[in-house]
Amino acid sequence: MLEAKKLVKYYTMKEKSGWFARKKQQIKAVNGLDLTIKRGEIVGLLGVNGAGKTTTIKMLSTLLAPTSGTLSIDGIDALQQPEAIKRRINMIAGGERMLYWRLSARENLMYFGRLYGLRGSALKNQCDELIKKVGLAESADRPVERYSKGMKQRLQIARGLINDPDYLFLDEPTLGLDAPVARQLRGMVKDLAKKKNKGILLTSHYLEEVEELCDHVYIIEKGHLLLHDTPTRIIQTIVKDRILLVVMDRLTQEDWTWLRQELDNRGIHTQKNETDEGTQLDMTAPFDLTAQFIALTHQRNFHLLRLESKKPNLEDAIIRLAEERELL
Amino acid sequence: MWTAFSATFKRQLVTMRRAYPWSFFIGHILDGVYITIFAFLSYHFIFQGELNERFVSYTGTSDYLSYVIMGGVFNSFTVSLLMIVSRMLITEMREGTLEALLLTPSSRLGYFLGAAVQGLMRSGIEWVTIICIGLFFGLNLVSAHLALLIPILAAFCFAIFAQALVLGSFMLAFRDTYITQNTLFVVMMLVSGVSFPPEFLPQWMQCLSRIMPLYYGLDLMRAVMTKAQLSFAILQNLLLLVALGILYFFIGIIFIKQMEKSVFEKHFG
Amino acid sequence: MNLLNVIWAEMKKSHRHNFNNRLMYFSLFVWPVIQFVDSYYAFKPFNLGQDSPLSRFVPVEKLGLFLITGCLAYIFFWSLVQSAWMMGYEREQGTLEIILLTPAPRTLVMFSRAAANLLEAVWLFSIFAVLTILFMGGLHVAHWWLIPIAVVILMLSAIVWGGFLNTIFLFSRDAGFLYTIFEAPMAFFSGVRMPVMAFPLWAKMIAYAFPLTFVLNILRSIVLDGKNLSAIFQPLLELFLILLCLIIASFILVRYAEKHAKETGNLTLF
C-alpha cells in the first residue's frame, strides 16, 4: 500500500522585479494532502489546473521532496530510501516528451531498462514483451520521431512498465489522443490494475475516463483535499438533482394547467417548449421523479413519445462543485 | 517595407530588453579578447617582438598587435551580426511562428533589415567593448579618417547583412544552425586575415579569401583605423566589397524565397 | 557489473542519438583540422628562423608536432563538451527526469556518458593526427610502451573532465555561457597552441586550473622530449590529484543538484 500523510509542498518563487532585484514569493502547491493507493486499485486525482496534481505525482515518484509529511510504499519510507522506492514505482506523463526521439522504441526501452539494472536476456525479453503488449512490434526499430502521437504514448506506457513497477502514476496519459487510441489505453490501464495487481494513480482532464476507471477519486483544490470517495458517491452527494426529459403529444391549455399544478405540488421544477414533435418538458427535482410523472400521465392518458431520464455524471459533479466553491 | 522593418525592430528590441542574450554577448566579446590575448602573449612572451619580414612586406606595417587585435575585433563583430540575421527565420521555425510570419503580406527585406539594424546595436556594443580591451593590449588607433570610415562601415555592414541572408537560407535548408554557422566561421577566420595575412596561405586557399566580406572589410578598416597613409587600394577594395555585397544580396534573396517555398511544402504538403 | 551496464546503455544511446547525424563530424573533424591549420599559420608572422626566440620553449622544427599534439589532446576534451550540451536537450525533452526516476547511480551516469561518447567522437581526428605526426616525423620517445600509457592518461583525464562538465551542465540552462567560462579559455591557456612555460605568472595561474595543461605537459614530455617514466612522475601525480578533486566535486555537485531539484522541482541552478 502506498500511504502519503499530510504531504505539503511549498515552492519559493523568485520573480524578476527589475534588472537585479528579485521578489521572493511562497507558493503552496500542496497543502496537507492524505492519500492512499492499494495494490490492484485505480485511484483518480482530480482538480482544476494548478490544483497541485503534478506536484503530488512528482512527490509520490520521489522526484520532488515534500516540504513536510510522510510517504511510505509497502512499509518502506520513501524519504529515507528513495532508491528502494524507485525500483517499485514508475511514472507516465502524457504528451510526447520523456523519450529519445532519435532512438527506436526498442532502443529507448533497452536504455531505460539498463538504468534499472536489467541486463542480458532478461532485459531483452522484457523489452520484447512490452513492445508486443503496447502493439508496437511492427515499428519497434523505427526512430521515435517518426511515430504518431498515439504510438509515442504507447511507448511511454511501455517505458513506464520497464521495471515492472508495483505502483504506477499516470499524469494525463490520454492527453490529445484520438478516441479509439484513448479507449485502448484505458483498457490497458484497467488490466494493469485488475489483472496485474498494480496500484495506479491517474490524473486526467477527461472525466468520463476517471468515472469509468477509478475505484476512488481524490478531488483537490489549491493543494487541499476537497473530497475523497467513489465516483458514484461523489456524484450522489454533489449533484442531487435528477433531470427528466419528456416529449408528448401536444398538450391542451387545460391539460397543461392541470399538469403544472400537480408538478408544482410535488416540488418538481418544469420548463415547457413547443417543438415540431409535440410538447417537450424538462423537469428537475432533487429525487428520481420518473415514477411519479408516469403515474400522472396515466391519470389523463397522455401519449408519451419519448422519455429520457438523465443521470448526472462526474463532470456535472465537478462543474457543480467548482460553481459552489466559486460562490464561497 | 517600412512597417515590417519597424515592427521587427521593435519586437527584437523588446526581446533583447526582456532577455538579453548574455551568453552570446559575453561569448563574442571573449572570442575577440582571446585572439587579443593570444597575440599579446605570442608577441611579447614567446617571440619577444621578433617578426617575420614577410609579415611586414605583406601588411605594410610592423605593428603586429594592432593588426591582430583589429582582426579579433572585426571577426567578433562579423560573427555576431551574421548570427543575429541568419538565425532569424530558423528561430521562427523552431518556435513555431514561421507560418504566422509567412502568412502575412509583409516585406521580407524589411523584416531582415529590422533585425539587422537592431542587431547592430548589440554587435556595436560588443565591438566597442573589444576595442576598449584591445587598447590595453597594444592596439594603436590613429586618427580615423571619419569621412572614409563611415562609408566603409556602411558597405561592410551591408555586405555582412547580404552574406547573412545566404547563410540563413543554408540554415533553413539543413535545418541546422550549429554546424552550418560554425563551419563558415572557422573557414572565415582562417582565410580572412584575422590573425595572419592570407598571403601566407597556399594560393588555392587565398581564393576563399576573395569571397569573404570580412577579408575586404578588415583590409579597409586597418587602412583607415591603424595606418596613417591612405592609398588607391582603399577605393578598389571598397568597390569590391560593395560588389560582393550586391552579389550575396541577390543570391540571398533568391535562396530565401526558394527555402520559404520548400518550408511551406514540407509543412503543409 | 552495474558500471558496465550503465556505460553500455549510455554508449548505445549516444551512438544512436548523438552520432546518427554525420554532420556531427564537421565539429569533430573538419573544424579541428581547420583550427589546426589556423594555429599553425598564426605563428607565421613571427620570426621562425633558427635564431627564433621560440626555440627557448619549443624547437622551431617541432612546432608542427607541438601543435598537432595540442590539437589532439584538445579534441579529446572538446568532444565531451558537445556531449555535455546534450544535457540541455535531455532536460527539455524530459528524459533527464526519467533518468532521475530510475535507481541508477547518478554520478556513474554522468561519467558513463563521457566515457560512452569519447571513442566515437575522437577516432577520426586521432587518425588524422597520427598520420600528420608520421608525415612530419621528429618523434622522440624514450620507450615505445610509454605511448599507450600516454593515450590511457589522455582518455582517463578526458572522461573525468567530461563527467565533471556533464554534472555542471546538468543544472544550468545556459550551456553557451558555461562553455565560454569553462571551455574557451582552456583552448587558449592550457598550452594547446602556445607553450605554457612562456606565459607570465597570471596566465600560468589560469593555465594550471585546467587538467588539460597537465595532460599536454605529460603527453609532450613523452612523445616530443623523450622523457622516461621517472621524469614524468611528478606531473603525473599532480594530474592525478586534480582529477581526484574533479571526481569529488562531481559527486558533491550531483548530490546537490538532485537535492535542489527535489526541493524546487527545477534543475536549473544558475
Q: What is the pLDDT of residues A156-199, one digit of tens each?
A: 889 999 888 999 999 888 877 778 878 888 888 899 899 989 99
Characterize B245-269 residue by residue with b for buried, 16 or more Cβ atoms within 10 angstroms of its Cβ, and e for exposed.
beebbeebbebbeebbeebeeeeee
* Side chain identity, residue C17: H
Question: Cβ-count burial of A30 within 10 angstroms (0-12 exposed, 13-18 middle, 19+ buried)?
Answer: buried
For C29-44, what is each residue's pLDDT tens digit? 898 999 999 999 999 9
What pLDDT, on the 0 to 100 scale, is given for residue A296?
84
Q: Is residue C269 part of a domain?
A: no
| Cα distance between residue C17 and residue C93, in whole Å | 13
Q: E-strand spans in chain A?
A: 2-16, 22-37, 42-46, 68-73, 76-77, 89-93, 167-171, 199-203, 216-221, 224-229, 242-248, 269-274, 279-285, 304-310
Task: Choose among A119, A139, A158: nearest CA to C9.
Answer: A119
Task: Choose among A259, A252, A245: nearest CA to A295.
Answer: A259
* Side chain identity, residue A130: L
| Cα distance between residue B80 and residue B31, in whole Å | 11
SS3 A8: strand
Contact state of C38 with B190 under an 8 Å Cβ cutoff: yes
User: How far apart, in Å, are the Cα atoms of A294 and each of A288, A298, A309, C198?
Assistant: 12, 6, 12, 105
Cell match 400522472: residue?
A296
By the CB < 8 Å criterion, does C2 face chain A? yes
| Cα distance between residue B113 and residue B109, in whole Å | 6
| Cα distance between residue C137 and residue A8, in whole Å | 69
What pLDDT, on the 0 to 100 scale, is given for residue C267?
59
| Cα distance between residue B45 and residue B49, in whole Å | 8
Contact state of C38 with B27 under an 8 Å Cβ cutoff: no
In the 8-state DSSP scheme, what is residue A104?
B
Phi-psi region of A95 (alpha: psi -120 to 50; beta: other; left: phi over 0): left
Stretches in chain B below the pLDDT threshold 50: 267-269
Stretches in chain C below the pLDDT threshold 50: 269-270
Residue B16 phi/psi, 5-degree rounding, is -65, -40
Question: Cβ-count burial of A195 within 10 angstroms (0-12 exposed, 13-18 middle, 19+ buried)?
Answer: exposed
| Cα distance between residue C94 and residue B12, in whole Å | 29
Task: Choose among C152, C162, C148: nearest CA to C14.
Answer: C162
By the CB < 8 Å criterion, does C97 face chain A? yes
> Are B246 and B253 a contacting pair, CB within 8 Å?
no
Q: In the beta sheet, which residues pair with residue B151? A: none
- Chain C CA closest to residue B22: C177
Contact state of C45 with B55 under an 8 Å Cβ cutoff: yes
| Cα distance between residue A162 and residue A112, in whole Å | 8
Sign of CA dihedral B86, B87, B88, B89: positive
Cell numbers linked to B245: 555585397
Q: Is residue C107 part of a domain?
A: yes
Q: Looking at the predicted structure, is the pLDDT value of residue A231 above 60?
A: yes
Chains that touch A (3 or more CB pairs under 8 A): C
Task: Choose among B161, B11, B24: nearest CA to B86.
Answer: B161
Longest dimension (CA), chain A: 84
* Side chain identity, residue A36: T
- For the domain made up of A240-311, the CATH class stated in words is alpha beta
> Are B70 and B137 a contacting pair, CB within 8 Å?
no
**Residue spans per domain, chain A:** 2-237, 240-311
| Cα distance between residue A102 and residue A146, in whole Å | 9
Query: What is the rounded average pLDDT of the residues A97-114?
Result: 86
Tallying the residues shown for chain C, one arrives at 270
- pLDDT tier, A248 (very low <50, low <70, confident <90, very high otherwise): confident
Q: Is residue C109 part of a domain?
A: yes
The DSSP-derived string for B68-122 is HHHHHHHHHHHHHHHHHHHHHHHHHHHHT-HHHHHHS---HHHHHHHHHHHHHHH
- For the domain made up of A2-237, the CATH class stated in words is alpha beta
What residues in C contact A114, CB-CB < 8 Å? 5-6, 8-9, 104
Cell numbers linked to A259: 399538469
Domains in chain C, number: 1
What pLDDT, on the 0 to 100 scale, is given for residue A113?
87
What pLDDT, on the 0 to 100 scale, is given for residue C152?
93
Contact state of B50 with C174 under an 8 Å Cβ cutoff: no
Q: How far is A108 from chain C (nearest CA, A)?
A: 8
By the CB < 8 Å criterion, does C30 face chain B? yes
Task: Write down the ipTM of this complex.
Answer: 0.88
In the 8-state DSSP scheme, what is residue A139?
G
Q: Is residue C270 part of a domain?
A: no
SS3 C105: coil
SS3 C162: helix
| Cα distance between residue A302 and residue A294, in whole Å | 9
Q: How far is B51 from chain C (nearest CA, A)?
A: 4
Chains that touch C (3 or more CB pairs under 8 A): A, B
* Side chain identity, residue B256: I
Chain pair A-C, CB pairs under 8 angstroms: 87
Q: How far is B226 from chain C (nearest CA, A)?
A: 18
For A13-70, what is each residue's pLDDT tens digit? 766 665 566 677 788 888 888 999 999 999 999 876 667 888 888 888 888 888 889 9
- pLDDT tier, A306 (very low <50, low <70, confident <90, very high otherwise): confident
Give the nearest partner residue to C45 out of B26, B52, B201, using CB atoms: B52
The DSSP-derived string for C59-104 is -GGGHHHHHHHHHHHHHHHHHHHHHHHHHHHHHHHTHHHHHHHS-S
Task: Choose among A29, A32, A34: nearest CA to A10.
Answer: A29
Q: How many CA atoms, within 13 angstroms, populate the side-chain half-sphere of residue B3?
A: 4
Contact state of C38 with B189 under an 8 Å Cβ cutoff: yes
| Cα distance between residue B89 and residue B252, in whole Å | 13
What residues in C contact B183, CB-CB < 8 Å? 26, 30-31
What residues in C contact A97, CB-CB < 8 Å? 93-95
Task: Choose among B237, B110, B91, B105: nearest CA to B176.
Answer: B91
Contact state of A97 with C101 under an 8 Å Cβ cutoff: no
User: How far apart, in Å, are the Cα atoms of B81 and each of A117, A129, B122, B181, B206?
Assistant: 49, 54, 9, 12, 24
| Cα distance between residue C83 and residue C17, in whole Å | 10
- Parallel, antiparallel, or unpaired: how do β-strands A242-248 and A279-285 relate? antiparallel
What residues in C contact B42, CB-CB < 8 Å? 42-43, 46, 194
| Cα distance between residue C14 and residue C83, in whole Å | 8
Residue A35 phi/psi, 5-degree rounding, is -155, 135
* Side chain identity, residue B57: S
Task: Choose among C154, C265, C181, B65: nearest CA to A13.
Answer: C265
Cell match 619549443: residue?
C58
| Cα distance between residue C223 and residue C168, in whole Å | 33
SS3 C42: coil
Q: Which residues of B, range 175-204, sit inside 8 Å of C by Cβ?
A: 176, 178-179, 182-183, 186-187, 189-190, 195-197, 200-201
What pLDDT, on the 0 to 100 scale, is given for residue C174?
65
What residues in C contact A90, CB-CB < 8 Å? 101
Which structural domain range is residue C100 located in? 2-264
Give the nearest partner residue to C94 out of A90, A97, A104, using CB atoms: A97
| Cα distance between residue B65 and residue B43, in whole Å | 8
What residues in A contact C101, CB-CB < 8 Å? 61-63, 86, 90-91
> Are C14 and C113 a contacting pair, CB within 8 Å?
yes
By the CB < 8 Å criterion, does C262 face chain A? yes
Q: How many CA atoms, within 13 angstroms, populate the side-chain half-sphere of residue A262?
A: 15
User: How far apart, in Å, are the Cα atoms of A111 and each of B33, B258, C177, C194?
Assistant: 43, 41, 30, 42
Report angle CA B196, B197, B200 to the nearest 5 degrees: 95
> Are A270 and A283 a contacting pair, CB within 8 Å?
yes
Task: Choose among A190, A125, A199, A142: nearest CA to A167.
Answer: A199
